[in-house]
Structure 1
Amino acid sequence: MLRTLRSVVRFRKFELSPVARRLGRCASVEDLREVARRRLPRGVFGYIDGAAEDERTQARNCNAFHRLEFRPRVLRDVTNVDPGVTVLGRRHPLPLILAPTGFSRIADSEGELAVARAAARAGITYSLSTLGTRSIEEVAAVSSGPRWFQVYVWKDRGLVAELVERARESGYEALLLTVDVAVLGRRERDVRLGFTLPPQLGLDTFVDGIRKPGWTWDFLTSEPIIFSSAVSRDAADGARGVDAMGLAQYVNEQFDPKLAWEDVDWLRSIWDGPIVIKGIQTVDDAVLAADAGAEGIVISNHGGRQLDDAPPTLELMQPVVDAVGDRLDVLIDGGVRRGSDVAKAVALGAKACLAGRAYFYALGAGGERGVDLVLKWFDEGFRRTMALLGARTVDEITPESVRWRDP
């Protein structure tokens, strides 16, 4: 009987690595989200997962992708599909760029370094946030892949100019100028959970940490978390001595409500590479961005983390592309969870998608290996969607490839 069983059943080798076991049970970004929810303290997960106020914009970003249906064509030879695209003059292996996410080390102690290494292996462009927890130079040192630097035009223009110069010296190819943070949005989930940046220890957070021993050990045995990307070079060199709470307060005070289109001209005066303006939410502002000489824009509502009830980004794509698609590269973020989501955005005219939460969940679920896995899924999912649509190249994914389903 046992001999017969062995002839028809192959026994799976037991996986010793707990990370591999966690990831081995995952098949989607939603699965990674659930693993991250179980592994991370409630406040940390809430920071990654949450959005502004009632979080309607975040939900509508995702629902917009659900409302867009495919119109596949059949009986086409899709033996070989080419998912490559050109964005800002560089060839990319697929229409995906990793969005900037602040404070990544709250998910895993390697933070931005883990994400940058995984992105480089996949040939995907990685965008480092000004509010990153690894410095501009640290990320450049571990990544041979293409990199963008996300920047705010803060009140302290001298610091901004220094950060831009350091990005140039470290080989970052483009600036991603975020413009939808004149003031910070109200993230009520953070308030309810008592979450702060950097995390502060109180009775509730202490008890929560005890329940998540893996994360807590990683947090307590690694160097203190600070905004490494946002501080001056001198402060970065002595980062261990920086008052983290004082630095967080300083950063929060730097957001400038007086920011205007003239500041794009100032940024252009200190940077000779491409500028991509992130946070466009109307056709009118897309036109102004093109008039300002931007090489690209990202249709973005900050993942729903700033203004609740802002329009879903996917619904803005086609009118924006119609208005300025021949003048600059139009990109999009918000709700991108699968390779098929990337295909839907491309069908409406996007040059590429930016994904942030997808890899943030992966980082929290399984560290660098989790990010490797989610990038593999995006690549496989986009290629599979191309083949099922009958598209051999990205140019063959057109508005005729999709249609809006009635709400």
Structure 2
Amino acid sequence: MPLSSRLDRNASSKDLPQSSRGSTPSFPDAQTVADLRAIARRRLPLGLFEFVDRGSEAELALRGNREALDRVRLWPRGLVDVSERNTRTTLFGRTMAQPFAIAPTGAAGLLWHHGEIALARAAAAQGVPFTLSTASITSMEDVADQAGGRLWFQLYMWPDRRMSYQLLDRVKAAGYEALLVTIDTVVSPKRDYNHRNGFSVPIRINRRNALDVALHPRWMLSVMARYLLTSGIPRHQNYPEALRRSLMERPRHVRGTPKNETLTWEDLRELRKRWQGPLLVKGVIHPEDARAAMNCGADGVVVSNHGARNFDPGIAAIDALPAVAEAIGDHGTVLVDSGFQQGSDIVKALSLGANAVLLGRAPLYGVAAGGEGGVTRILQILADDVDRTMAFMGCRSIAELGPHCIARR
């Protein structure tokens, strides 16, 4: 099915925030996502950087995501007037300046003081949505009050469903537009480096990470010390009240972790009854799961292997995308994440059937490097990359992308 049937060709720039059309960039010397990643690596303690940057187990999926994207090749075209092009699209009936949004990530508030707010503000200024994680350390209410823009919320379901439904009531009251329920973290993944670094929950202080923090005084003073002097040790502010502990305090009950081995499709049907806005199922890889999600009333899916942070032997998201997009057809929205670091990666996903791409690590590198300014630079780099890639391909709008643009997979 051509993407044009799912996208609005006539999205007007008048629907976009004024600041999304020509703001002064930060980090002008940073030309790639890798440049901002290098700055983030220098600025952060190793344990925190590896929490963001690495995968799980042997990191086969982490390498696989990159290799799978690199295997996709695009057709360049010549003698096409591309002097007037735009990268606007629509999701849920509203215009986006770019065909991407910021994915939910739980560590943003540790990379920068109130990093979630910095991410959301940058996204709003650039005219793209921001998704807040259940595991964030800034409350959904504070993000909504201080950032604005298009806000989505990512939900983990607890074994005690009442806690999840109470959280859902908060999401509604705070005015979030869409709900993304994650289904791919049924048990805790194996990330040995987090345990060695002491960067698990609760965080353990040991000789290794104490020295690591001491060698990064700028991060300690600008991030952690500010929390300690104002609100105390950070905690998961979007957890239910009964489970809201500091990151260094052990949960009193096993049920305190947002992992749920008892979830079924019936839980999704119940969520559909309780949530009136757009509902997406995040972590869908198999086309049968995509069909099941739509049968339960979901508005779409997010094709994702959790950024290669969970199931190491799993398939790459970009490889799973075409079959999932075919299963959804024109009945819903298809987003994709996991491993997208270049604008050409985004164009590949759009050509293979995605309506938009969720960006995870790339904005985190930006916020770690320089807060809102770093995120803004990341989004500008990727927007420029998307625009340039489309020009080489002879495409003047997102609606012109499709399977015919793929030269080889």
- Does 1:194 find its partner at 2:206? no
Q: Does the residue aligned with 1:23 lie in a helix, a strand or coil?
A: coil
In the alignment, which of 165, 168, 186 is matched to residue 164 of structure 1?
A: 168
**Distance in 1 (alpha carbons) for counterparts of 2:121 and 2:255:** 27
SS of residue in 1 equivalent to 2:249? helix
The question of 1:215 aligning with 2:224 is answered: no
Q: Which amino acid aligns with 1:123?
A: G
Alignment of 1:351-390 (within 5 A): 351-390=355-394
CA contact (8 A) 1:198 1:226 kept: no
Deviation at 1:246, TM superposition (A): 3.4
Question: How far did 1:102 drift?
Answer: 0.6
Displacement after TM superposition at 1:243 (Å): 7.6
- Equivalence for 1:17: none
Q: How far is the alpha carbon of 1:143 from its aligned partner?
A: 2.1
Conserved 8 A contact 2:203-2:247: no
CA distance in 1, matches of 2:353, 2:318: 10
Counterpart residue number, 2:398: 394
Q: Residues of 2 paired with 1:247 and 1:143: CA distance?
A: 30
Q: 1:156 touches 1:254 (CA, 8 Å); kept in 2?
A: no
1:327-384 deviations in whole A, cap 9, x for unaligned?
Answer: 1111100111122111110010100000110011111112221101101112111111
Q: 2:235 — aligned with what?
A: 226
Q: Please say if 1:338 is aligned against 2:342.
A: yes
Residues 177 and 277, structure 1, Cα contact 8 Å, conserved in 2: yes
- Give the partner amino acid of 2:392: L
Alignment-derived partner of residue 40 in structure 2: 36
In structure 1, the residue matched to 2:309 is 305
Matches within 5 A, 1:67-78: 67-78=71-82
Q: Which amino acid aligns with 1:226?
A: R
Instruction: Pick the aligned partner of 2:69 from 65, 68, 73.
Output: 65
- 1:204-353 to 2 correspondence within 5 Å? 204-218=208-222, 219-222=224-227, 223=231, 224-232=233-241, 244-247=248-251, 252-353=256-357
Provide, for residues 200-224 of structure 1, a one-character-per-residue CA deviation record: whole Å limited to 9, x for no partner: 3322111111111111112123242
SS of residue matched to 2:27 = helix
Does residue 102 of the first structure (1) align with residue 130 of the second (2)? no
Identify the residue that residue 133 of structure 1 maps to in structure 2. 137
CA distance in structure 1 between the partners assigned to 2:168 and 2:38 by the alignment: 37
For 1:347, give the aligned amino acid.
Answer: S
Residue 221 of structure 1: SS of its match in structure 2? helix
| Alignment partners' CA distance in 2, 1:272 and 1:175 | 10
CA distance in 1, matches of 2:347, 2:49: 28
Residue identity opposite 2:277 in structure 1: G
> Do 2:272 and 2:298's aligned partners in 1 also have CA atoms closer than 8 Å?
no
Instruction: Measure, in 1, the Cα distance between the counterparts of 2:189 and 2:292.
Output: 24
Provide the rounded CA distance (Å) in 1 between the counterparts of 2:28 and 2:85. 28
Relative to 1, partners in 2 of residues 1:157 and 1:181: Cα closer, same or farther, differing over 3 Å? same
The structural deviation recorded for 1:248 is 9.0
Cross-structure match for 1:8? none
Contact between 1:23 and 1:365, CA under 8 Å: does it hold in 2? no
Indicate the RMSD between aligned Cα atoms, in angstroms. Answer: 2.1
Aligned AA (1:44): L
For structure 2, the 5+ residue unaligned runs are 1-23
Q: CA deviation at 1:286?
A: 1.0
- The code of the aligned residue for 1:165 comes to D
Quote the Cα distance in structure 1 between the aligned partners of 2:160 and 2:393: 49
Q: Compute the displacement of 1:52 (Å).
A: 0.9
CA 1:61–1:316: 2 relative to 1, 3 Å: same
* Secondary structure at the counterpart of residue 183 of structure 1: coil
Shift of 1:272: 1.0
Q: 1:364 & 1:31 partners in 2: Cα distance?
A: 12
CA contact (8 A) 1:62 1:334 kept: no
- In structure 2, what is the equivalent of residue 11 of structure 1? none
**Could you tell me which amino acid in structure 2 is paired with residue 76 of structure 1?**
V
Displacement of 1:235 after TM fit? 8.3
> Normalising by structure 2, what TM-score?
0.88
- C-alpha separation in 2, matches of 1:274 and 1:42: 38
SS of match in other structure, 2:152 = strand
Q: Output the CA distance in 2 between the equivalents of 1:338 and 1:108.
A: 23
Cα offset, 1:252, TM superposition: 4.9
Q: State the Cα distance separating 1:92 from its structure 2 match.
A: 1.4
Cα shift at 1:24: 4.3
Identify which range, 376-385 or 307-316, moves more after superposition: 376-385
What is the count of residue pairs matched by the alignment?
381
Task: Encode CA deviations 1:25-65: one digit per residue, 9 max, x unaligned.
Answer: 42111121122111111100110011110111011112211
Structure 1 residues 187 and 249 mapped into 2: Cα distance closer, same or farther (>3 Å)? Answer: farther
Q: Summarize the alignment of residues 6-85 of structure 1 with structure 2, pairs less than 5 Å apart.
A: 23-85=27-89
What displacement does 1:251 show? 6.6
Q: Is the 8 A contact 1:183 1:256 kept in 2?
A: yes
Map of 1:86 onto structure 2: 90
| Identity within the alignment, % | 36
SS of residue paired to 2:264:
coil
Return 5+ residue gaps in structure 1 as ranges. 1-19
Cα distance, 1:154–1:148 mapped onto 2, change above 3 Å: same
Q: 1:86 to 1:221 in 2, by over 3 A?
A: closer
TM-score (norm 1): 0.89
Q: Identify which range, 317-326 or 294-303, moves more after superposition.
A: 317-326
- Residue of structure 2 in register with 1:9 after alignment: none
Question: Take 2:220 and 2:252, find their aligned partners in 1: how far apart are those partners?
Answer: 21
The one-letter code matched in structure 2 to 1:202 is N
